[in-house]
Structure formats: structure tokens, C-alpha cells
Structure 1
Amino acid sequence: MNIRTRLTLIFFSIVIIVLTAISASIYVVSSNFRKEDFFRRLRNRAVNTAKLLVEVEEVNPDLLRRIEQNNPASLPNQYIVIYDHDGTELYRSENTERFPIDDRLLSRIRAKENVEFKYEELDVIGFLFQSKDERYAIVAAASDVYGGDALHYLRNTLIIVFLISAVFVSLMGWVFAGRVLRPISRIVSDVDNITEMNLSRRVNQGNSSDELGKLAATFNRMLHRIQSAFSSQKTFIANASHEIKTPITVMSGEIEVALLQDRDKDYYVNTLHSVLRGLKSLNSLSTQLLVLAQTDSDKPMRNVGVIRIDDILWEAKDELAKVHPEYMVEIQLPMSIGDDSLSLQADEQLLRIALVNLIDNGCKYSDDNRVEVKVRANQPTRIVLDIVNNGPGIADDMVDKIFDPFFRAHATKTIKGSGIGLSLVKRIVHMHGGSISVKSVPYQQTVFTLEFPIVTAKPSNGTASLTE
């Protein structure tokens, strides 16, 4: 069952329930009013008859019977019986008995003083009448022909109106549901026409102030994020393919040239060294791509523990010194920073990769292969690393792009690299709850600033907690 049908049924059910309640209320109220009004009129007729009988000496039962029969105000099938306090019958409208009157009924009248009930087509009332210090029991009956006809007419009218209303409500409910769902149908149609080939299309927001407009706006924002992700993915795949293909193409070309004819030993040695450099470059690129993929996974940090940032810095320096002896890395650690201010909750391997990449970039692009790493405390709960180099720097229009995968500034195109390092560093830093920023003055100084939350003193349960 689709939503339009369900909305129609809900609308129909609600209205029908309301109509049923209103119609039933009208009928019940009208029926009660008819009953009360008829019994009131019947009681008045009986009281008037009793007064004539007991208060007017000239009136006897026979005369009263003729008066009652010739009275145009008498009710249809009017029938009145009057008893004294001993139960002796004083008056009866007709000699024939319309309905049985026994001692049990008279006892009920004397006990309750007012009894109302229906006998076949007659409405019957029994009550006590006080006159001249004596109480009389009166039983009166009549047929409410006009009231019954009016009630039947009202019932038929309500049924006809109910049926017509049910049909009308069904049609209006279907139209109403269609109008309500029209914006949703439009959104569904717009979404259905959006594919991976036209992610730039957006859903018509219509009235942006209502819920459906907000839904469309939210969906458009999601489309924007998906489009950005697709674009980033395509760019990443294209750049990764290019970066991987380049060293493979170079190595293949060198091997093919070497195989064209016999060469001397030195040529083959140089070729092998060139291929080895290409393989190392390819291995480094694949390693960075794997780490980059790891940072995109659901659980990028797998070996989290409390580590000291200064230990990671010294390890990063030693690791770089083994590969690049020409690098000069100076670590400045003020004595004012206590041991507790150097502890981080981090994945040691990922954090070491980030620092190695950042220091390696600084040394690689610095004119003298020199980098200064300055450790300082920004707040009681934060530790800051400033990584300074004196390279060509970064132009202002490039600063916001250097953390994008495979992006390389113009000033660094002459130096070998894949453009993955800084994007990897940024992801790792953010995973550890930190932040990274850069300030650069071209051909003077470039400073990368990393800020991390430190681990507070160990609580009583022996576990460390991260302080934001």
C-alpha cells in the first residue's frame, strides 16, 4: 500500500469517525429530547384530567371521559387511569384495558414517585399527584406518532448525509493526499534523475521554510558531499595511477634500452641502480597509499596507548638520519616543560609516520637540509610542535591546497615527491584530536604548527584520560 492510499484511508477514517460521533450524538440528543418532551406533555394532560376529576364537583367520570375524547389537544391514543391512595380505580379513559396495570406497577409508582417505560407502541408514565391532602396514583399512556416520524426522518437524513459525506471525504482525501505528496513525488523524480554522471544536479527545494523544503536542502547538502567525495576519489585514482605509472614506465624504458644490445658492465650497474631507485620510490609511494587508506578506514588507530612526544621525535630523527645522513634535525625541548606535559594518547606508528613525513618535507625543501623542531606548551592541556625550515616557502594562494592529496606547489616541482605526505600528516593529526596549520614567508621561513591534547595525570583506576 503506497503512502497516498494510506493517507487517504487515515483521512477517511478520521473524518468518518468524527461524522459518526456527530451523527450519533445528534440522534441520541434528539431522541432524548423527544422522549422528555412527550412525557412532559403526557404528564400535563394526565394532571389536567386528574384536577378536573378531583377538584371540580360537577365533573364525573362519564363527563370527563367525553371531555377527554372531544378535546383536540389530546394526544394520539391517549389513555389515563387514576387510582386513590388505597388503590381503588377512580377513572379510566376507556372501558377497555390498553395495557396491564397490576399492584406491582402501582407499588413501583408509590416507591419511586415517577416511572417511565414503553409498552408496544405506547409511551407509559406513572406518577403520584397531590391534591386536597390526598395522593393519587396516575398512569398515562399515548403514542408519539409525530415525534416518532420526526425521529425517523432525522435518522434517514443523517444516514443519507453520512453516505454522501463518506463519498465526498474519500474523493477529497485522495485529492488532499495527492497535493500533500506532490512535493515528495517531485523530490523522488529529481533524485531518480541524478546519477554518477550528473551529480552536479540538485533537488528543487520549493518552499524552503517547510519540512519538505528542509529535507530537500539536507539532501542537496548530502549530494554536495557525495559529489566532493566522487571528485576526490576520481582525482585520487588518476593521480595515484599517474604516480605509480611514472616509475614503472621509466624502469621499463631503461630495461628495454639495456636489452637492445650488449652493454658494458658499468652501464648495467647504472641501470640496476636506476631501477632500484625507481623501485624504492614505488615502494615508498605504495606504503604511503596503504597508510592513507588505513586512515580512511572505520578504525584507523589500532594500537593506541600513552606515549611521549619527545620519544617519537627522537625516533623520527634517527630514522631519517639512517636514510638521509645529510639531514640536520634540531629538536628544542625547553626544560620548563614537565614530563606530564609530553604524554599523548596516540597510535605510535601513525604519529611517527606523520612526524617523519613532516620533518622529511622540511629538510627536503630547505636550502640547507636543516629543520628546527620547537616543543612548547600552549595551554596546561595542550602541547605544540613548531617545525621550521628555510626553504622556498609556499605562496599564499597555495596554502589552503597543500594538504590535498597529490597536490604539489610550483616551487617544489623540481624536487621528487608524490604529494601524499602532507595530506597524510593532516589526517593523522586530526585523528589524534589535534590541529595543524602553516605560516610561510616565501624564501625566508616556513612554520608548520601541530597542536595535540595531552594526557592528564593518571586517575585512581590507573588509566590515563585525554584532556581537551
Structure 2
Amino acid sequence: MKIIDRQPLRASLIVSILFGAFSIVIYNFYADFRQKEFLKILRQNAISRERLLADSTSLLPAVLEQIETNSEFRMKGEATGIYDTNGNAIYVFSAEKQLSPPLLKQVLRKKEVVIDSLNIDRILFLYEVPENHQKVILSAAAIDDFGYAKQERLRDLLLVGTFIAIIVIILMMRFFVKRDVKPIGQIADRMEQITAHDSNQRLPEANLHDEVGQMARTFNDLLDRLEFAYTQQRNFVSYVTHELRTPLTIMQGQAEVTLMKERTNPEYRQALESVKAEVQDMIKLVNELLELVRANADAHLVDLRQVRVDDLLWQARGQLIQKKPHYEINVRFEEVPDSEDITVMGNAALLKMAFMNIMENACKYSLEPVCQVLIHTRKKEVAVRFIDQGTGISENDLEHIFEPFYRSVNTHDISGHGIGLPLTKRIIEIHRGKIAIESEVGNGSTIIIILPTID
């Protein structure tokens, strides 16, 4: 069942329950009020009969009965009785000659008894005669035709009113729900038109102040992220294909040239050394890609432990110099810290990889292969600055420096794949840290990493 049909039915059910409960309360309230008012009249009539008999000693009960029979004000089913405390009749009009023992006992105990049977209201109560203070039992009963007619009229009005209210609510709810869900239908139609090849379409954001507009905005934000991810993936595949094709093409060309004629052992060795270098470059690229994929995985899966930043920097320096002995990397503190000031919650392998990437870039892109590493501690965080002696980075390149595979124009003659800095940035983000670059063309660059220390 569609929302446009389901919501009005739900609303009508709720309205039916509420109106039904309200009608029952009103009806019962009026029925109780009608009975109380009618019993007051019956009580007053019974007292009037007793007073009439007591004040007119010459008025016989038979004469009073005849008067009541012929009275035009007589109520339908009216019956009056006056009894002594033993239940014997003193005067009766259409009433029993003697009260039954259970009823007599009940009246004497409760002082007043109300009986409602077959639309006949009856009241029996003890009454003290003013002249002699003798107690008698007065009984009066009748059918409240006028009161019951109004009660039935009220019942009919409540039923008709409830029915009309339900119909009106259904029609109004259907109109408003149809108007409110119309944007949802438009959103559904537009979403069916969005494909991987036409992902630039967006959902209409009619009213951002209601839930539908907010949902459309959320979907559009999701589509923006998906389009960005799709573009990144497409570029990733394109870059990887290009980066892998280049060394493969070189190896293929080297092999074809080598096999064109017989060569000496030194020439074969030189060709194999060239192929080996390209293979090693491919292995390095694949390893960097694997690390980038791992770093972009769920950060909650990364094992974090207490590690000292200075220890990781020295380890990264040692491993890098072991591979590149001509690199000069100087690590020093700007001031002597406490051990807690440089201890962070981190993954030693990932942080060491990030530090090595920055150190290697600083040496590789400097005029002289030198990198200065300065450690500075401050409240609840440790900052590490990597300073190179390169040519600096332009403002345009700084905007894209952390994008995978991006390389500046003036670095194309230096080996690299443009993966190191994006990988480093992701590692720092996993550790809830920050990374920034300060650079000026001609004056070198400084990369600053800030990591939160343990509390």
C-alpha cells in the first residue's frame, strides 16, 4: 500500500478512536446528568405528594390517586408510593402495595436507592415528616421521555459528526500527503536517471527546511562523494596503468634490442641490469600502492600502542641511510622534553613509513641531499618539522600536493610515483594528527606533522 493511501487510513483510525472515546465520554456524561436531573424531579414529586396528604386531612388517598390519574402533567409510567419503615403502603399510585424485604432493607441501610430498569428511573429514600419527625419511605418512578429523546439525539449527532470528521480527515490527509510526497516521487524519478556515466545529475532540493529537502541534500552530498570516489578510482586506474606500462615498455624494448643480434657477456649483463632496475621500480610502485590501499582501509583496524616519536624518527633515519648512504639527516630536539611529552598512541610501522617518506622526499628533491628534523613539544601534542634545501613548491602545486600520483612539473626528471605524500597524509589522519606544508619557491620547503600525545 502506498503512503498516499496508508497515511490517510492511519489518520482516520486515530481520529475514529479519539472521536469515539470523546463521544462515549460526552454521551455518558450527559446520560448521568440527565438521570440526576430527572431523579431530582422525581424526588420533589414524591415529597410534594407526601406534603399534600399531610396538609389536607380531608383529602383521601383515593381522591389524590384520581387527581394524579387525570392530571395532564402526569409523566409516562409515573408511579408514586409512600411507605412506613416496615414496608407497608400508606399511599400508592401505580406502585407495589408493599416493599420487598431486600429492597426495604437496602433503603433503610443506604437512606437512598436508585433503580434504573427498562428506561424507568426510580428513586426510594427515607424522609422525615416535619410535623412528628416520623420517618417514611418515599418512592417515585417514571420514564423520562423528553430526556431520553435528547440523549438519543445527542448520540445520533455524535455518530454523524464522527463519520463526517473521518471522511473530511481522510480527504484532507490524502490531499496534504499527496502534496508532501510529490517531491519524493520526483527524487525517485531523478535517481533512476543517474548512472555511472551520468553521475553529474543531482536531486531537486525544493525546501531545505523539511525532511524531504534535507534527504535530497543528504543524497546529493552522497552523490558528490560517490562521484569524487569514482573519479579518484578512474584516475587511480589510469595512473597505475600508465606507471606500470612505462617500465614494461622499457623492459620490452630493452629485451627486443638485446635480442636483435648476438652480444657479448658484458652487454647482456648491462641489459639485464637495466631490466632488473625497472623490475625493482615496479616492485616499489606495487608496494606503495598496497600501503596506500591499507592506509585507506578502516582506521579502527589499525593496532595503536604507546610509542616514542623520537625513537621512530631515529629508526626511520637509520633505515633510510642504510639504503641511501649519501643522505644526510639530522634529528634534534628544540628543547629537552619529558618522556611523556613525546609519547603518542600510534602504529610504529605506519609512523616510521610516514617519517621515511618525508625524509626521502626532502633529500631527493633538495639541491643537496640534506634534511633537518626538529622535534618540538607543547601542551598535549608533539610537532615534528622536516626542512629541506630544495627549490620550493609553487602555490598551484601546493593545492594538489596530497593527491595520489600528482607530481610537480619541475620534478618529472626525478624518479617517483606521487604516492608518498598522500600515503603519509592518510597515516597521520589515522593517528588523529595534522600535516601541513610551508614552502616558497627558491627557499625550500618545511613539512610539519603534529601528533596528539597521551593524556
Alignment TM-score, normalising by the size of structure 1: 0.87
Q: Which residue of 2 aligns with 1:117?
A: 115
Secondary structure at the aligned position of 1:22 is classed as: helix
Asked if 1:37 corresponds to 2:43, the answer is no
CA contact (8 A) 2:299 2:430 kept: no
- The percentage of aligned residue pairs carrying the same residue is 29
Q: Deviations over 1:212-266 (max 9, x none)?
A: 3333323322222222222222212211111111111111122122223334444
1:197-208 alignment runs, 5 A limit = 197-208=197-208
Q: Which residue of 2 aligns with 1:397?
A: 396
Q: Deviations over 1:97-138 (max 9, x none)?
A: 668733443343343332221355633222233242233322
User: Measured at CA, do residues 178 and 443 of structure 1 come closer, stay the same or move farther in structure 2, by a change above 3 Å?
Assistant: same
Deviation at 1:410, TM superposition (A): 1.6
Aligned mate of 1:127, from 125, 128, 132: 125
Moved more, 29-38 or 185-194: 185-194
Which consecutive unaligned segments of at least 5 residues does structure 2 have?
none
User: Measured at CA, do residues 258 and 30 of structure 1 come closer, stay the same or move farther in structure 2, by a change above 3 Å?
Assistant: same
CA contact (8 A) 2:124 2:139 kept: yes
Deviation at 1:186, TM superposition (A): 3.6
Secondary structure at the aligned position of 1:101 is classed as: coil
Q: Deviations over 1:150-182 (max 9, x none)?
A: 333433443344344444444444444434433
User: Measured at CA, do residues 78 and 109 of structure 1 come closer, stay the same or move farther in structure 2, by a change above 3 Å?
Assistant: same
Q: Deviations over 1:23-53 (max 9, x none)?
A: 2122212222222222222222222222221
Asked if 1:217 corresponds to 2:239, the answer is no
Deviation at 1:420, TM superposition (A): 0.7
User: Measured at CA, do residues 156 and 393 of structure 1 come closer, stay the same or move farther in structure 2, by a change above 3 Å?
Assistant: same
Distance 1:430 1:104 in 2: 91
User: Measured at CA, do residues 99 and 3 of structure 1 come closer, stay the same or move farther in structure 2, by a change above 3 Å?
Assistant: farther
Q: Deviations over 1:51-97 (max 9, x none)?
A: 22110233222322222222221212322222345655332335xx6
Secondary structure at the aligned position of 1:44 is classed as: helix
CA contact (8 A) 1:337 1:376 kept: no
User: Measured at CA, do residues 205 and 43 of structure 1 come closer, stay the same or move farther in structure 2, by a change above 3 Å?
Assistant: same
CA contact (8 A) 1:301 1:347 kept: no
Distance 1:282 1:213 in 2: 49
1:35-114 alignment runs, 5 A limit = 35-84=35-84, 87-93=87-93, 101-114=99-112
User: Measured at CA, do residues 448 and 88 of structure 1 come closer, stay the same or move farther in structure 2, by a change above 3 Å?
Assistant: closer
User: Measured at CA, do residues 121 and 445 of structure 1 come closer, stay the same or move farther in structure 2, by a change above 3 Å?
Assistant: closer
Distance 1:331 1:370 in 2: 11
Q: Which residue of 1 aligns with 2:329?
A: 329
Deviation at 1:15, TM superposition (A): 0.6
Q: Which residue of 2 aligns with 1:272?
A: 272
Q: Deviations over 1:314-371 (max 9, x none)?
A: 4333333343333232333457345554444432322222222212111211112222
Distance 2:173 2:97 in 1: 54
Q: Which residue of 2 aligns with 1:242?
A: 242
User: Measured at CA, do residues 416 and 36 of structure 1 come closer, stay the same or move farther in structure 2, by a change above 3 Å?
Assistant: same
Amino acid at match of 1:399: L
Secondary structure at the aligned position of 1:76 is classed as: coil
Moved more, 109-118 or 161-170: 161-170
Deviation at 1:292, TM superposition (A): 0.8
Distance 1:308 1:86 in 2: 107
Q: Deviations over 1:255-309 (max 9, x none)?
A: 1222233344444333222212211111111111111111112258756444443
How many residues align structurally? 453
Measured on the aligned residues, the alpha-carbon RMSD in Å equals 2.8
Distance 1:273 1:429 in 2: 37
Alignment TM-score, normalising by the size of structure 2: 0.89
CA contact (8 A) 2:435 2:450 kept: yes
